[in-house]
Every structure is written in structure tokens, then in C-alpha cells.
Amino acid sequence: MTSKVTYTGELRTTCLHLRSNNEFITDAPVDNNGRGEAFSPTDTVATGLASCMLTMMGIKARDLEVDLAGATAEVTKHMEANPRRISKIEVKMELPGNISEKHRKVLENTANTCPVHYSLHPDIEKIIEFDWVK
């Protein structure tokens, strides 16, 4: 088992990662009857894409002996109404500018082939921007 999710009432869950004992909460978003005081379940999906991309890039960067420390990703999630679902995820990455063009291409390909990217339904539009900051 990977995790345990407990519904605590008032549209909130507590999510426990069993191996590490780390936890986070989710709330329903304001536009869906919630308080929006924490990540919504769909926020975690969209954020999971960026987290997976950066993690996979980090693994590849280590193999390439380059440092991605300080890289960030800004995530914007768009919802459809009927049926209610994620329709688009935008990820804007800011990455160190001191990485060669060859390594940038390898790292971008790695990001675009991460497990979460492959796991998302093909109808979800994914807009990924890599900004190699100077």
C-alpha cells in the first residue's frame, strides 16, 4: 500500500504517505463548494505533473553531472464544467542558464516523458515552457 486517505469532514481529506509518514491535506476548491484552504485533489494532480518532471530531470541531470538546484515550476490548472475535469495544465519551468544546449534538449525530453505526463488522459492539454534563465 502506498498511502491512506481519510475523509475528515467539511470536504477535507488527510493524505498519509505510509513509508515516510508524511502527510498533507486537501480541501474542495471554492468554485466547487469548498473553502479552498489547501490543495484540491485536482491541484495535486496538476502539481504532480511539475513535480514528476523536475524529479525526472534531476535524475537525468545527476547522470549528466549538471546541477538543477533552484529550478522551479509554476503550475496553472484549468477546469472544464461538464463533466467537471482538468482540461489543461500549464507548466512554466525556470531552470539554470549555465547548462549546455545539448544537455537542455536531453533534460526537456526527459521532462516530457515523465510517468505522470504519460499517465494523464490525452484529452488534457499540456503546455510546457522551459525557460533557461541566463
Same domain, residue pair 10 and 71: no
Whole-structure pTM value: 0.95
Number of domain units in the chain: 2
How far is it, in rounded angstroms, from Cα 41 to Cα 14?
A: 11
Same domain, residue pair 14 and 74: no
What Rg, from alpha-carbon coordinates, does the chain have? 17
Mean pLDDT by 10 residues, the chain (134 residues): 97 98 97 94 98 98 97 98 96 97 98 98 97 90
Same domain, residue pair 20 and 77: no
HEC string of 53-81?
Answer: HHHHHHHHHHHHCCCCCCCEEEEEEEEEE
Cell 498519509 found at = 16
Q: What is the pLDDT of residue 16?
A: 98
Q: What is the pLDDT of residue 6?
A: 98
What separation, in Å, do the N-terminal and C-terminal C-alpha atoms of the chain show? 43
Q: What is the pLDDT of residue 44?
A: 98
Same domain, residue pair 58 and 28: no
Same domain, residue pair 88 and 129: yes
Same domain, residue pair 104 and 55: yes
Same domain, residue pair 28 and 46: no
Same domain, residue pair 25 and 81: no
Structural domain containing residue 25: 3-32
How far is it, in rounded angstroms, from Cα 115 to Cα 48?
A: 10
